[in-house]
Amino acid sequence: MEKFKLREKEIFETLKQLAECEFVIIGGYAVNAYALPRFSVDCDIVIKKKELGEIEKKLQMAGYAKMEGGDVQPLYGGSFARYEKEIEKDFFVSFDVLVDAVYDRISGAVFSAGWVFENSKKRRLYGKTVLDGIDVRIINPDALFVLKFTSARETDIRDIFMMADKVENPKWAKKEISRKIDFERNFEKIREKICSKEFKKNLEGVYGFVENAAFEKRKKILVGMKNS
């Protein structure tokens, strides 16, 4: 637990140093803006190409090194760079920088940086142990839902479940998802997972205790998306 706290603290300190740069947080740290905070291994940010030089400079000044080739196994493809910092012996923190687009390796879907910026705004971000928070640009809940529904990895399914009640326009989200992938295919995968007997236990292993009423409410929202 202490190492995870240390990693989270480092992420927040680095975000403060990047405050003057233009970027949008997506991924696990973005979920923390809308659901019970959880620890994330890295911080995913989307930038436009013109920002890359300044972002890289500030990360290197903060002690991060750019990872090359076989050292990187990203969730995303396209123009991508990982910057890593060793904060204790053999314990690392990293920033994944996605340039000009989010390309999902699982589905092949591509979301432009313009789309991400258009669907984002400055918000207060808190961590699981960082309680005072910082103001940063974060992808909006509906757009984040779209990204995670499109990938539908196990961790994505947990995340969209926890933020299901924060989606403001389900019809828009469904339309955006359907533009990129077969909505029905991923919907059935997600429905099967969240309706399984072990899902609540696995969810609480990441997020902590979830009240039954809140659990059932979110499940109803997600299952109801098919007809939205």
Q: Are residues 21 and 127 in the same domain?
A: yes
Query: What 3-state DSSP class applies to 107?
Result: coil
Q: Are residues 69 and 180 in the same domain?
A: no
Residue, of 123 and 228, whose pLDDT is higher: 123
Question: 125 - beta bridge partners?
Answer: 134
- Provide the token pair at 178: 């359907």
Q: Are residues 108 and 28 in the same domain?
A: yes
Q: Are residues 20 and 87 in the same domain?
A: yes
Q: Are residues 85 and 120 in the same domain?
A: yes
Q: Are residues 7 and 86 in the same domain?
A: yes
**Pairing, β 101-104 against β 76-77:** antiparallel
Question: Tens digits of per-residue pLDDT, 93-112?
Answer: 999 999 999 999 889 999 99
Question: Tens digits of per-residue pLDDT, 109-139?
Answer: 999 999 999 999 999 998 888 888 999 999 9
How many domains are there within the chain? 2
Q: Are residues 25 and 123 in the same domain?
A: yes
Phi (first) and psi of residue 132, to 5 degrees: -80, -30
Residue 135 DSSP symbol: E
For Cα atoms 169, 174, 180, give the angle at the middle one, nearest 5 degrees: 135
Query: What 3-state DSSP class applies to 168?
Result: coil
54: domain CATH number?
A: 3.30.460.40
Residue pair 10/18 in contact (Cβ under 8 Å)? The answer is: no
The pLDDT value given to residue 71? 47
Q: How large is the angle between the packed helices 183-194 and 212-224, nearest 10 degrees?
A: 160
Beta strands in 10-72 (DSSP E): 24-26, 42-47, 65-66
Range 78-89 average pLDDT: 89
91-to-10, 68, 155 alpha-carbon distances in Å: 12, 18, 22
Question: Tens digits of per-residue pLDDT, 168-206?
Answer: 999 999 999 999 999 999 999 999 999 999 999 999 999
Residue with tokens 């669907």: 119
Residue pair 65/85 in contact (Cβ under 8 Å)? The answer is: yes
Q: Are residues 58 and 121 in the same domain?
A: yes
pLDDT at 75 over 90: no
Question: 80 - beta bridge partners?
Answer: 98
Q: Are residues 118 and 210 in the same domain?
A: no
Q: Are residues 109 and 156 in the same domain?
A: no
pLDDT at 72 over 80: no
* Distance (Å, whole) CA 226 – CA 228: 6
Q: Are residues 152 and 50 in the same domain?
A: no
Question: Of 139, 164, 179, which residue constitutes the final position of a domain?
Answer: 139
Which region among 11-20, 70-79, 184-193 has the lowest average model confidence (pLDDT)? 70-79
175-to-20, 136, 172, 226 alpha-carbon distances in Å: 34, 27, 5, 11
Question: Of 123, 139, 155, which residue constitutes the final position of a domain?
Answer: 139
Query: What mean pLDDT is reported for the chain?
Result: 92
The pLDDT value given to residue 73? 46
The pLDDT value given to residue 110? 95
Q: What range defines the domain where residue 168 resides?
A: 140-228
Question: Tens digits of per-residue pLDDT, 21-68?
Answer: 999 999 999 999 999 888 788 999 999 999 999 999 999 999 999 997
Q: Are residues 83 and 157 in the same domain?
A: no
pLDDT at 222 over 50: yes
Question: Of 92, 118, 139, which residue constitutes the final position of a domain?
Answer: 139
Amino acid residing at 202: N
